[in-house]
A and B are shown apart, each in its own frame.
Chain A
Amino acid sequence: NAGVTQTPKFRILKIGQSMTLQCTQDMNHNYMYWYRQDPGMGLKLIYYSVGAGITDKGEVPNGYNVSRSTTEDFPLRLELAAPSQTSVYFCASSLQRLNTEAFFGQGTRLTVV
Chain B
Amino acid sequence: QKEVEQNSGPLSVPEGAIASLNCTYSDRGSQSFFWYRQYSGKSPELIMFIYSNGDKEDGRFTAQLNKASQYVSLLIRDSQPSDSATYLCAVSSSARQLTFGSGTQLTVLP
Contacts and interface: CB of A to CB of B under 8 A. Distances in A.
Interface of A: 31, 33, 35, 41-45, 48, 50, 56, 58-59, 90, 92, 94, 97-99, 101-102, 104-107
Contacts of A50: 96
B99 A45 contact: yes
A42 B88 contact: yes
A101 B49 contact: yes
Nearest to B105: A40
A50 B96 CA distance: 8
Contact of A98 (B43, B51, B97, B103): B51
Contacts of A99: 32, 49, 51
B49 to A, nearest CB: 6
B31 interface: yes
B98 A41 contact: no
Given A98-B32, A101-B49, A107 B43 contact: yes
B101 A97 contact: no
A105 B43 contact: yes
B78 interface: no
Contact of B96 (A48, A102, A106): A48
A100 B34 CA distance: 9
Contacts of B16: none
Nearest to A4: B43
Contact of B101 (A31, A33, A42, A102): A42
Interface string B58-91: 0000000000000000000000000000001010
B44 interface: yes
A41 B103 contact: yes
Contacts of B96: 48, 50, 56, 97
Contacts of A107: 43
B43 A43 contact: no
A73 to B, nearest CB: 19
B97 A48 contact: yes
